Amino acid sequence: MKKKIIVIGSGFGGLATASRLLSQGHDVEIFEKRDKPGGRAYVYEMDGFKFDGGPTVITAPFLFDEIFEAAGKSREDYFELVPCDPFYRIFNAEGEKFDYNGDHDFVLNEIEKWNPADKEGYTKFLKSTKAIFNKGFVELADQPFLSLWDMLKVVPDLIKLQSHQTVFKYISKYIEDDFLRKVFSFHPLLVGGNPFDTTSIYAMIHYLEREWGVHYAMGGTGAIVESLQKLIEEQGGTFHYNAEVDEITIEHGKATGIRLKDSSTHKADQVVSNADVAFTYRHMIPEKERSTWTNRKIERTKYSMSLFVIYFGTKRRYLDSELEHHNIILGERYEELLADIFHDKKLTDDFSLYLHMPTKTDPSLAPDGCEGFYVLSPVPHLDSGTDWEQKAKPYRDAIISFLEENYLPNLEENIVFEHHIDPLHFQQTLNSYKGSAFSVEPILTQSAWFRPHNKSEDVDDLFFVGAGTHPGAGLPGVLSSAKIAEDLICDNDRD
């Protein structure tokens, strides 16, 4: 049965869901608050520079292939993926580097430079992650957890896989060297988690990267957004920009459409929200339609850290530097810094950084002779009470000064374009509760059934996709949530 379905938000979750539902024959309209699609993957363009606003690490590319194949198309005709080698270059506090890729012998040679005894442990660790990957990703990532029974059925497997342990503790069983433990435990930070709190299930990210590689989309991640936009329009989908949703309209407990900030209403048989789940419940669903349990759950949930990101372009190139496409720069403190960010909600003077240098792979993102970067620092969300209108400038200055002194000589005088975002951006522009960057924190007690469900418990015909629902943040998780929404909506049709 063909249905009219409204998708709120055009992040990757919304785009993937829209295309999947169009492939199933439904009529789909997407309503986006901003002036173009992307959500967290919004693209900033100025003076010949192009910066991906959000995700830059592309893994599990087959999840994109599936979307295009369902529409009778080939992904390769829309955008090009190229492998990154190394996947990451990781620097310690002294600037010494470790390269990591999908070549086992290469990684073992890198490990030997630090601690030869850890070569055997790493091989055992990698072998152990295959079982975690097969259960956590292959079997469970695209399955809904709508009832407690759904969760209880997998508890024996979770116990067997030692999911009660944290990622860092799990890795420490196999790796002795302190720096190497950091090298192989940082992955939860890519999805908003603290390696010292996040369930060891997330060690599967390491296996996922080894299985399919780390990729870059030529033209930037924004090229994927543009390709999905083009595909959806070819499929007959409709986009509405500068169209902020004020309320999900509900009749007799069922979602019936939306009302925009301009008071216009749009009817639908079903609604899919790619907006932040907490924001959707708190601001788009009338309080009388929310259960007391839902309100309490939103307040008690732990939310991910936020981010401070500087996008900058330089009038010179830095190809002679030691930097690669993806760089992780660890500070002197690791566990203590993460405790400050996640537990104490405290902004400190020190930091660890992710430095993205896409123009090393794709010079088209900057004018001739120029370089484009983005540097990201995890920071606490807005419960910290930090006054970002006052703190942003000195925090920016400290990061730029650090990069200039250690990695990018004469950086300040060579910057010709610059833009930054902070927790206020996540709260005010992206409608993210508490200004968190990845929504619900990925700890064991907030995984699977314990996360906000893909199908609303309070409102019929309302579904959720994106970072805040199951299975979680990161492109593989978000794209998997779209598969879940498609299955739930189509199963509902058959019912």
SS3 content of the chain, % helix, strand, coil (to 5): 40, 20, 40
Q: What pTM was computed for the model?
A: 0.94
Question: How far is it, in rounded angstroms, from Cα 212 to Cα 241?
Answer: 34
20: pLDDT strictly greater than 90: yes
- CA angle, 307 as apex, 304 and 311 as ends, to 5°? 155
Tokens 């314990």 identify what position? 450
Mean per-residue pLDDT of the chain? 93
pLDDT in tens, 366-404: 999 999 999 999 999 999 999 999 999 999 999 999 999
Q: What percent of the chain has pLDDT above 70? A: 93
The encoded tokens of residue 172 equal 């420490």
Handedness of CA 113, 114, 120, 126 (dihedral sign): negative
Spatial neighbors of 304 by CB under 8 A, at least 6 apart, are 192, 193, 381, 436, 437, 438, 439, 440, 441, 442, 473
What is the average pLDDT across 90-119?
A: 97
Nearest to residue 468, comparing CAs of 292, 243, 279?
Answer: 279
pLDDT in tens, 279-331: 999 999 998 998 877 888 888 999 999 999 999 999 999 999 999 999 999 99
